[in-house]
Structure 1
Amino acid sequence: MKKHITLFLSLFLIVGVALAQNKGDVQKARTIPVAEIPVDPNVKVGKLSNGLTYYIRNNGKPEDKVELRLAVNAGSIMETERQLGLAHFMEHMNFNGTKNFQKNDLVDYLQSIGVKFGADLNAYTSFDETVYILPIPSDDPEKLEKGFQIIEDWAHNTTLSEEAIDGERGVVLEELRLRLGAEERMQRETLPKIMYGSRYADRLPIGTKENLENFSYDDVRDYYKTWYRPELMAVVAVGDLDVATMEQKIKDHFGKIPATTNGKTREDYQLPNHEETFIAIASDPEAAFSRVNVMYKDRKNAQPTITVDDYREGLVRNLFSQLINNRLGELRNSANPPFVFGFSFYGGTFARTKNAYQSIAQTSAEGQLDGLKALLMENERVKRFGFQQGELDRAKKSIIARLEKAYNDRDKVESGRIVGQYVNNYLEQEPIPGIEWEYGTTKRLLDGITIKEISDLINVFIHNDNRVITLTGPEKEGLTQVTENQVLALIKEVESADIKPYEDEAVRESLIEKLPAAGTIVSTTKNDALGTTTMTLSNGATVTIKKTDFKNDEVLFQAFSHGGTSLYSDEEIKATSLANGGITQAGIGGLSLTDMSKFMSGKIANVSPFLSNAAENFRGSAAPKDLEVLFQMVHLYFTDVNKDNEAYQSFVSKQKSFLGNLMANPNFYYQDKLGAKRNEGNPRYSGFPTPEKYDAADYDLAYKKFKERFADAGDFHFYFVGNVDEAQVAAFAKAYIASLPGLNSNESYIPTKFREKDAYEKFVVNRGADPKSSVSITWREETTYDDQKELAASALGEVLTIKLVEKLREEEGGVYGVGARGSLSKITFTDFDFSISFPCGPENVDKLVAAALAEVEKIKKEGVTPEDLAKVKETYLVARKEQVKTNRFWMSNLLNLDQEDRDPSYILDYEKRVNALTAEAIQKIAQEYLDENYFLAILMPEEK
C-alpha cells in the first residue's frame, strides 16, 4: 500500500507541474488541487447523524482487549466565572453515578473484570478537552457490552446527584491540595505574561478552592448539559475485535443520543499578539529547581497539517529541532556546562490556536543568566551562520532509523499506543496517514530538504514581538535575584556579541579500531519449557537467548554478575557511591559522549553499565540490524572506559546544579530525613546526595573499583530477548564477549547486615508553608521465603488498596489517592516490606491514620471477602495475559530466575499459583506481619 500511495502522490505532483507549465497560466495553476495527506486505510472514520464522530481500528495486540476513548472537545476554557474547576470536576463525577451504574458500582464492576482504577481506567481534563480512558475485554460479549454502556453513560447519562456532588468535593479539593507548592505559586505569577490577554491565563483546569467549595449543583449540571453534546464528542475504539462489531456497538449506544438544537457555540479562544517582550521572573523559598524559558509565539494562528506540503514543513521543523538540540547537548557535556539540560522545540502552547518556538534550560540557582545566555547565543549562532551539512546528514539518518523501526513493528503495536493519534486527530486535526505512508513519504521528501531552508527557519521562529522570557527558581539568603533590566541587557549583548561559527568535528567510522581475538562456544543447551538457548563461552561467560515474535525490530539486553558494591568496604562505598554515576560520562574507546552521539546517528542501540548493591549490571536494547554495535559497546565498557577528569567534573557540575536547592522542597526534605531515620546505625548508608557530598566523592577510586568489578567477564550472565538470530548472536558472542578476560572469580554478594528496627515509632517532620501532609505506614521484617507467601503479600497490598480507596477517598473524602503495597525480596536477605501511603490535609492526619489501621485490623479479624479476592485474582490474570507477550516480561523474569536462584516454575506456574491463592493465606500474612511494630512517618507543615 505504501508504494501505491507514494507513487500516486509523485504522479499527482508531476502532473500538476506539467499542467501549470503547459498552460503558462500561474493563476490557473493555483486552482489545481493540492495533494492532501491521506487517512490510514486501517482506520474507519465515521459520523453519526447527531454529529458524533467515531474512529475504529482492528488491532490484535494485545489479544482479547479493546481500548475505548471518549473525547469531549471542551475543557476548562469553556467555563464561566461560576464554573471555575467544574470541567475537571465533571470528569470526576462520571465515576460517581450514572444511569446504569450507581455510585461506586462502575469502579467495582471494572475491578471485578481486571480493570484497575487509575492504572487502566482513567481520564484527564485540560484547557480545551476532556478525555476518558477505558480498556475492556473483547472476548466476552457481556463485558464488551458493558464497556460501551459505560462510555455511553459518560456521554449523556451522568446522574449528578446532590449527594454525589458533595461527596466528591473533598476528593477534588485534595487533588488541588496536592498541586500546592512553589511551582504552583510561581506559575500564578508567570502564566498571565505567557498567556497574555487570553482566557487561558485564568482557566487552569483544577479551578480555585473558593469555587470548588461553593459552586452550586446547577453550575456543574449546566456545564455538563452545555458541553457534553454529540457534535462535540468522538468515540475511539481500537483493539482485538472486528470493525463491524465495534461500529454497530457505537451506533447502538450513541446513535440514540438526540442531536443538539440551538447549542452554544464552541469558540476557539485566541492568544493575542503583543509588541512588547514580556519578562516574567518568579521566585519562591520552596523552589527546588531553576529554569529559564524563551518563548517566541507565532504571529499567526496555528494551522492544521493537511497537505503533503504541510507535512514537509513539519519535517523541516523536526530537523531544525534535532540540529539545535544536538548543539545544546554538546554544550551540556562541555567542561563548564551552562545548564543541567537545555533543549529547543517548535510546537503548541497552552492555547490550541497558537504555536511557538521555545528554548528551555534548567540551571543552577546562580546560573540563570548563564543558561539564558547559552540558549540565546546558540539561536543567534544559527541565525548568523546556519547549520552545516554534516549535522543535517546525521539528523536525516536518525529520523529514518526511528521511522524504519516503527515501520518494521507496524503489525506489533499495542492498541494503547495507537488510540491516542485518533483522539488527537479529532481534537487537534493531527494527520493520521499511518506508518506505511509516513515512512515512504518521509524517505522521499528528506533528500530534497536543504540545509538552507532549515537554517532559514530561525528567521521565522525568532522575532522581537510576541516574545516572553520566563525565569523561575529559589529565593534564599545570599542569592541575588535576576532583574528584568539584566535580561534586557543580556538580549542586547547577545545581538552584538562576537560569535564564531559552529565547528563540526568528524568522528571515526569504527567503534572498535582493533578487533580482539575471538573466543569460542564451549557448550549449548536448550530449555524447551522457557523457550531459551544458553551458550557457555570459552572464558566462562554465559549467554542466554530467547527468540520471540512480539516485536519485529526489538532486542532487549541485560547482564549481571554477583558482587556489586556489597564487596566494597564501608569507607569505599561512601567514597564512591556518587562518583559511580560519572564514570560512563567520559565515553568509551577514546570517544566522548559527543563523539558517540555523532557515531550513533542512524543506529538504534544503547548500553548502560551500572553497579547495584548485589551485582555488576548491563542494560540496553538494539534494533536487530544494529546488534553488533551493542556487542561492541559492551566489549568497550569491559576493556576501554575512558578516564577523563574534565568530563567527570562536567557531570559533577550538572549534578550540583540539579541538587543545589533540592532540600527547599518539603517533599525532598521529608524523604531525606525519613531515609536517615530509617537507616540509623547503618554504616553503609550515604544519604541523600548534596553538592558537598559530590565535592567529597572520589572519582579515582570509583574508576578503579569499576574496573575491578568489570575485570572478569567470565562470571557474567548475558541475556538477549526479542527478534534475535541465534547464529548471529553466537558469532557476536564469540567475537566480543568470549574474547574478554575470564578470571574464574565466581564471586557472590555479601548479604546486607543492617536491619531496620522492628518496633513501633512515630516520626514527624515539619516542613513547608502549604496546608498539606504526607503519611507513610511501614512494616519491615526479616522472614523466610516461599513463592506463595510472596504472592499473598502482594495480594494483601491490592486488597487493602481497594478497601482504603473505598474508606479514605469515597467515604471520608479525605484523600485524592491512597495505596498499599506488599512485597518479599530475596536479595540480599528475605525481607518482608509492606507500606500504606497517602497525602492529606494536616487536620485529617490522625483520623485517616486511624481509619487506615482500622482497615488493616478488619482484614486481620474478618479476612478478605470473596469479591475482593476475585478482583485481585482477575487483575493478576488479565495483566499476566498481556505481560507474557512482551519482551520486557521475559527479560526481567529470566534475569530474576538466575539472580534469585528460582525454579522455572516461578514463571511457568504463575496462573496456577494465582488460582490457588486463598483469602486465608492473605489474612494470615496480615495477622503475622501487620502488627503493632510499624513505622509511622508524617510530613506536616511548619508550625506558625
Structure 2
Amino acid sequence: MKKRIVAFAIGLLIISSTAAQTDSDMSNSITIPEGDIPVDPNVKIGKLENGLTYYIRNNGKPEDKVELRLAVNAGSIMETDRQLGLAHFMEHMNFNGTKNFEKNDLVDYLQSIGVKFGADLNAYTSFDETVYILPIPSDDPEKLEKGFQIIEDWAHNTTLSEQAIDDERGVVLEELRLRLGANERMQRVTLPKIMYGSKYAERLPIGTKENLENFTYDDVRDYYKKWYRPDLMAVIAVGDLDVAVMEEKIKSHFSGIEKPKEPSGREAYELPNHEETLVAIASDKEAAFTQVQVMYKDSHLAPKVKTVADFRESIVRNLFSTLINNRLDELRNSAEPPFVYGFSYYGGTYARTKNAYQSFAVTSPEGQLAGLKAILEENERVKRFGFKEAEFDRAKKSIMAGLEKRYNDRDKRESGQIVDAYIQNYLEDSPIPSIEWSFDMTKKFLPTVKLEEIGALIKNFLHDDNRVIVFTGPEKEGLTQATEDEVKALLKEVQTADLKAYEDEAVRSNLIETMPVAGEISNTSSNSKLGTTTLTLGNGATLTYKKTDFKNDEVLFRAYSHGGTSLYSDADYLATTFANQGLTEAGIGGLSLTDLNKFMSGKIANVSPSIRGFSENFRGSAAPKDLETLFQMVHLYFTSLNKDDEAYSSFITKQKSFLGNLMANPQFYFQDQIGKIKNEGNPRYTGFPTTEKLDASDYNLAYQKYQERFADAGDFHYFLVGNIDEEKIGELAKTYLASLPGKNSNEKYVPTKFRRKDKFQKHIVNRGTDPKSNVSITWEEEIPYDSKIALNIAALGEVLTIKLVERLREQEGGVYGVGARGSLSKMSFSNITFSISFPCGPENVDKLVDAALAEVNKIKSEGVTPEDLAKVKETYLVKRKEDLKTNEFWISNLLANHQEERDSNSILSFEDKVNSLNSNDLQEVAKKYLDENYFLGILMPETK
C-alpha cells in the first residue's frame, strides 16, 4: 500500500491564521471582514445517525468514473505498546478477506473491471489517519454497487482470519525491510528531537519487526474493533454520477453500522513545548545525501482556518512563503551556492496539534554549517530589513497567476484532484470553499496586503524556544562531523552578524529586445481523423497542433529534431554528457536565470531544451495567455543561449554536492555496477555522474555542440496540444519559428553500434549492511519492429505482474512489491526489453528467483488464462478511455509516432488491437524471447 507519514502542504488555505499576529498598530489600520469561510456549494455534506460523515460531489471528469475514499480518523498514534505497526497492518488486512470478498477475491475482481492494484486501488496509513482509495466505474450499476460494497466491507466487515493474518505478516515485514537503511537509522536519532516529548516519536506507522512477528490475533482485532467505527469515519464520493444516487448508496451501505455504546475517546495528541534548542546530528556510512533542517515550533496549539479574516491571513502567509523562497532560489543560483536546494514554509508538523516555521537545505557533505548559516542569515535578513516593493509585486503576480489557472480550469478538474480536500476537511477541519469564492476573495484582499505585514510575520516565526536543528548526512573517512556546540555557536553568531539588506536589481520589461523578421507558412494540411493541423514553415520546419477542450488553461509543447549526441564522436560525447545538463543555467537573451525567473513572475510558461541520444528536443507548457512568451523562449534558446562560466561553475558545484556520496547508497551502487557490467565494451557508456566525471566535463565544447545541434531550426518538428487560439497560432509560428534559420540539413541519427551480450549471466553485487536484497532479471533481443509484437510484449508484462504478485507476494509472502515490464523500442535499433524486478530478504533470493522463472515457464508451457488476459485488456481499455481526454496523451503520442515514423492514425485503432490480443500470441512471444539467455543481477548485503 502507499504509505505516508505526513503531507506538508503550502496551499493558500492550510496555513494557520493566528499563529503569528501582526503588530497591533498595523492590524488596526486594516478592516478585517467578518464571517466564516463558506463551504463550496457543489459538495453535499451529511452525517448518518451512527456518526459517519459523508461528502458527495458530481464531477464529470473523467467520464463514467467515481472516486471513492474511506477515511478513518485513526492511525498509528492510537496504538498500544502491544499494537505497534497494527494500524498499518490493519490497512493490509482489508485487502485480505472481508465478508463479501474472500482472500484475493477483492483484488481479482477489481482487476477484472480495469482497476489496477497499486496504481488505482491503494491505501495509506499515517500517524493520525488511515485512508482507502478506490476508483470505480460509474456507468455500470453492478460495478458501482460492488464498489460501495467494498468500502462498506473495509469499514466493518473485515474477517481477520488467523490464516490471512499469518500470511500477511511476511508481506508487511518485507515492507518494513524496504525502509531499512541510512534514512531509517538516522530517523531514529532525529525523530525523538523533532517530536520531543510526544507519542509521535514512538509510533512510526510501520511498527517494529519484533511486534509484527509476535503480535497476537486479538491485538489486531482489538485495534479494528476499537477504532474502525462510524463516528470516526468519512465516506467521500466524487465523480460522474448523480448526487442522489451516491447518497442513496452511502445510506444503504453505512447506516446499518452500529456505533459503540461507550466509544473510546479520540484523543488529540500534543507536541510539548521545550525552552531549549534541541540539536539532532545523525550520520550514516550509507547516507547518499546531506540535509539541514531548522524548525521553530509554535508554543500554542495549531489554530483552525475558519473565518474570512483567517483566509486573508493565509494570503499574507502565502506571500511570505513565495518571497522567502524566491530569495533562497537566488542564493541557490549564485556563483558560490551555499546549498543545492533551499526551501522555507510555515505549516503543519507530524502532529496535527502543532504548526511550525521550517527551513530546509540540501548541502554538500562538508557544507552543512555553511548551508545552515545561509538559511539562518536569510531569515535574519528578512527579520531586520523586510522585503522590497519590487519583489513583493512579483510575488503577488505569481500567486494571482497560479490562482487564475485553477480558476480557469475549475470545470475541468479530475475527481481525483478534488477528493483530498474533503478528506482533510473531515480529518483536520480545513476549509473547503469553492474556487470561485477563493478567486474572488484573493482578488479583493491581495491589493490590501501591506509589505509591513509580510515582514512582520518572521518576527513571530523566529524564537529561541521550541527550536530544533537537524543535520543528516554521510559518515566517511576524512569528513569532520559538525558538533552541537558549533551549531549553537552559529545560532548566536547569526543573531549579531553584520548583514546587509537585500538588493533587488531591476529586470527589463521585454524578453526579446529586437523582434525577429517574420517568416512564412508555405503549406497547411489537416488530419480530420485526429483533429490535427500541420503548418509547413518557410524554413522547412513543421508545426502540428491539436486544439482541445480538455483543459481551459493549458497548452503543451514538444519538439524534436533527429541527430542528438549520436552525431558526436566518442571523445566529444564523453566530454559533454554531464556538461549538457548545465547549459541552460546561464539563462537566455542576456537574462540570467535569476533575472529570467523575475521576468516570468505572473506568467505561466516554461520551456526546456535538451540534447538526447538521438535527437534535440524542447519540452514546455503555457497558459493560453502566455503562449507567445513560450514561443519567444523557444526562439531565444535557438538564437541566444547565454554562455556564463560562473553560472556553469555554480551548476557543477551543486551537482558535486548532491551526487558526491551517491555510491554509498547500496541501491545506487547496485544500479551503477549492473550498468557497468551490461555495458562492458561500450565506448560511449558514461554511468552515474561522479566528482571526477563532472570535473572532466567540457563546458566550452558542450556549448559549441549545442550551437551546432540547434543551428538548423528548419529540421525540427514542433507539436502543440491544448486550448489553442487557432487565429493566433499562425502568426506566432511565422514570427518566432519560421524566422529561424533553416539549412535543409535533414539529419538522421546514427544507430548505436554496441550490443549487449545475448547469453546467460549471473552477477552478485555485495553492498550494504542491512538484510536487504534486490533482484533484476532482464531479457534483451534485437528484432525487426512490429507493432503487434510491441503490444504483445507489453501485455505479457502486465499479465506476468499479476501472476508474480499472486505467487511471490500472496502465496510466498516473500515480497512487498514485484513487477514485470516488456517493451519494443524502434529508436536506434529495434530491441525487445523484458524485465522482472523485486526486493526481498537475502535468504529468499534463490527461492523467489526460481518462483519468478517458474511463472514465466508456466506461461510458456500453458499460455495465459482467459481471466488474466481479460484483466489486462480491461485495464488497457479503461486507461485509454481516460487518456484520450488528456493533452499529455495526445502530445506524447503524436510526437512519438512522428519521431519513430509510425502511423499516427494508429492511435485510433488501439481498442481493436487490444481486443485482438490472444493467449496464443502472448505465449509465443514468451517462448521466443524469454529464453535461457537472461541477465540476472542480485544485490546482497556485504559479508562480515
TM-score when scaled to structure 2?
0.96
Query: 1:479 aligned to 2:479?
Result: yes
CA distance in 2, matches of 1:354, 1:700: 51
- Please give the secondary structure, in 2, of the residue aligned with 1:447: helix
Partner of 1:13: none
Aligned partners of 2:398 and 2:601 also within 8 Å: yes
3-state SS, counterpart of residue 160 of structure 2: coil
Q: Which residue is equivalent to 2:526?
A: 526
Secondary structure, aligned partner of 2:418: helix
Verify the 8 A CA contact 2:390 2:504 in the aligned structure 1.
yes
Distance 2:749 2:705 in 1: 15
Contact 2:340 2:654 in 1 (8 A): yes
Q: CA deviation at 1:304?
A: 1.2
Residue type of the alignment partner of 1:854: A
CA–CA distance in structure 2, aligned partners of residues 688 and 809 of structure 1: 32
* Contact 1:554 1:723 (8 Å CA) reproduced: yes
Letter in 2 for 1:926: A
Structure 1, residues 301-333: CA drift from partner, whole Å, max 9, x if none?
Answer: 001110011111111111111100000000000
Q: Report 1:458-469 matches (<5 A).
A: 458-469=458-469
1:327 equivalenced with 2:327 (yes/no): yes
The SS at the match of 2:57 is strand
2:145 matches 1:168: no
Q: Does 1:782 align with 2:782?
A: yes
Residue 228 of structure 2 aligns with which residue? 228
Q: Deviations over 1:85-122 (max 9, x none)?
A: 00000000000000000000000000000000000000
SS of the counterpart of 1:909? Answer: helix
- Give the drift of 1:904: 2.5
CA shift, 1:726, in A, is 1.5
**Distance (whole Å) between structure 2 residues aligned to residue 804 and residue 720 of structure 1:** 40
1: distance between equivalents of 2:785 and 2:649? Answer: 44
CA distance in 2: counterparts of 1:569 and 1:221, whole angstroms:
66
Aligned-partner Cα distance in 2 for 1:834–1:932: 13
1:578 alignment counterpart: 578
Q: Distance in 2 between matches of 1:333 and 1:551?
A: 33
Output the amino acid matched with 2:260: T
CA distance in 2, matches of 1:430, 1:710: 50
Task: Tell whether 2:289 aligns with 1:289.
Answer: yes
1:588 alignment counterpart: 588
* Alpha-carbon separation, structure 2, partners of 1:741 and 1:784: 36
Other-structure match for 2:769 = 769
| Contact 2:823–2:833 (CA under 8 A) maintained in structure 1 | yes
Residue 41 of structure 2 corresponds to: 41
**C-alpha deviation, 1:538, in angstroms:** 0.7
| Distance in 1 (alpha carbons) for counterparts of 2:323 and 2:260 | 49
Q: How does 1:865-944 map to 2 (within 5 A)?
A: 865-944=865-944
Residue 70 of structure 2 is matched in structure 1 by: 70
Alignment correspondent of 1:184:
184
Give the Cα–Cα distance (whole angstroms) in 2 for the partners of residues 583 and 726 of structure 1: 33
Q: Distance in 2 between matches of 1:656 and 1:131?
A: 40
The 5-angstrom pairing of residues 427-438 of structure 1 reads: 427-438=427-438
Distance 2:614 2:291 in 1: 37
Distance 1:273 1:195 in 2: 10
Unaligned runs of 5+ in 1: 1-25
Hey, what does 1:259 align to over in structure 2?
A: 259
Displacement after TM superposition at 1:896 (Å): 1.1
Residue 375 of structure 1: aligned partner: 375
Instruction: After superposition, give the CA deviation of every residue in 1:420-453 in whole Å (9 maximum; x if it has no partner).
Output: 1101110111111011111111110101111101
Q: Conserved in 2, the CA contact under 8 Å of 1:787 and 1:906? A: no
Q: Post-superposition shift, 1:688?
A: 0.9
Per-residue CA deviation, residues 658-715 of structure 1 (Å, 9 max, x unaligned), is: 0111110000111110111110011111111001100000000000000100000001
The letter of the residue matching 2:76 is: S
Tell me what 2:24 maps to. none
Contact in 1 for aligned 2:781/2:833 (Cα 8 Å): yes
CA contact (8 A) 1:138 1:240 kept: yes
Partner of 1:710: 710
* Range with greater deviation from structure 2 (875-884 or 900-909): 900-909
Alignment correspondent of 2:451: 451
1:50 and 1:260 in contact (8 A); partners too? no
- Give the aligned partner of residue 11 of structure 1: none
> Are residues 1:354 and 2:351 paired?
no
User: Counterpart of 1:452 in structure 2: which amino acid?
Assistant: E
Contact 1:545 1:726 in 2 (8 A): no
Amino acid at match of 1:914: V
Q: Deviations over 1:774-814 (max 9, x none)?
A: 00000001011111110100010000000000000000000
Does residue 394 (structure 1) correspond to residue 410 (structure 2)? The answer is: no
Q: How far apart, CA to CA, are the structure 2 residues paired with 1:912 and 1:838?
A: 33
- Residue 560 of structure 1 aligns with an amino acid whose one-letter code is Y
Q: Secondary structure at the match of 1:852?
A: helix
**2:239/2:415 contact within 8 Å kept:** yes
Contact 2:33 2:309 (C-alpha < 8 Å) held by counterparts: no
- Cα deviation for residue 827 of structure 1 reads 0.2
Question: What residue number does 1:308 align with?
Answer: 308
Q: Which secondary structure does the structure 2 equivalent of 1:610 belong to?
A: strand
Whole-angstrom CA distance in 1 between matches of 2:774 and 2:799: 22
What amino acid is the match of 2:180?
A: L
- CA distance in structure 2 between the aligned counterparts of 1:210 and 1:732, rounded to whole angstroms: 65
Provide the rounded CA distance (Å) in 1 between the counterparts of 2:114 and 2:139: 13
For residues 33 and 89 of structure 2, the distance between their equivalents in structure 1, rounded to whole angstroms, comes to: 46
1:742 and 2:729 correspond: no
Partner-residue secondary structure (3-state), 2:272: coil
User: Are 2:33 and 2:308, in contact at CA under 8 Å, matched by a contact in 1?
Assistant: no
Residue 20 of structure 1 aligns with which residue? none
Contact kept, 8 Å, 2:381 with 2:502, in 1: the verdict is yes
> What is the CA–CA distance in structure 2 between the aligned matches of 1:759 and 1:739, rounded to whole Å?
52
**1:597 maps to 2:579:** no
Amino acid at match of 2:86: L
Using the TM superposition, give the Cα deviation of residue 906 of structure 1 relative to its aligned residue in structure 2, in angstroms.
2.1
1:33 CA drift (Å): 10
Q: Report the secondary structure of 1:603's partner residue.
A: coil
Aligned partner letter, 1:540: G
Partner of 1:363: 363
Q: Counterparts of 1:807 and 1:788 in 2: how far apart (Å)? A: 28
SS at match of 2:539: coil
1:833 aligns with 2:841: no
> Is the 8 Å Cα contact of residues 715 and 747 (structure 2) preserved in structure 1?
yes
Measured in 1, the distance between the counterparts of 2:904 and 2:542 equals 17
Match of 1:8 in 2: none
Q: Deviations over 1:800-856 (max 9, x none)?
A: 000000000000000000000000000011110000000000000000000000000
Q: Is the 8 A contact 2:363 2:371 kept in 1?
A: yes
Instruction: Tell whether the 8 Å contact from 1:62 to 1:240 is kept in structure 2 after alignment.
Output: yes
In structure 2, the residue corresponding to 1:937 is in which secondary structure? strand
Give me the whole-angstrom Cα distance separating, in 2, the residues matched to 1:606 and 1:139: 38
Query: Whole-Å Cα distance in 2 between the matches of residues 535 and 757 of structure 1?
Result: 45
Distance in 2 of aligned mates of 1:261 and 1:312: 42
Residues 49 and 259 in structure 1, CA contact (< 8 A), matched pair in contact too: no
CA RMSD of aligned residues (A): 1.0
Asked if structure 1 preserves the Cα contact closer than 8 Å seen for 2:122 and 2:134, the reply is yes
Contact 1:343/1:361 (CA < 8 Å) preserved in 2? yes
Quick one: which amino acid aligns to residue 66 of structure 1?
V
Aligned AA (2:441): T
Return the alpha-carbon distance in structure 1 between the equivalents of residues 62 and 388 of structure 2: 44
Aligned residue pairs total 915
Q: Distance in 2 between matches of 1:553 and 1:661?
A: 42
Equivalent-residue separation in structure 1 for 2:33 and 2:633 (angstroms): 51
The aligned runs of 1:790-869 (5 Å cut-off) are 790-869=790-869
- Conserved 8 A contact 1:790-1:823: yes
Match of 2:199? 199
Aligned to 2:112: 112
The amino acid that maps onto 1:727 is E
Contact 1:331 1:338 in 2 (8 A): yes
8 A contact 1:342–1:359 mirrored in 2: yes
Deviation at 1:260, TM superposition (A): 2.2
Matching residue of 1:7: none
Matches of 1:921 and 1:935, distance apart in 2: 24
CA contact (8 A) 2:714 2:741 kept: yes
Partner of 2:510: 510
Residue identity opposite 2:114 in structure 1? G
One-letter code aligned to 2:908: L
CA contact (8 A) 1:576 1:698 kept: yes
1:57 aligned counterpart, secondary structure? strand
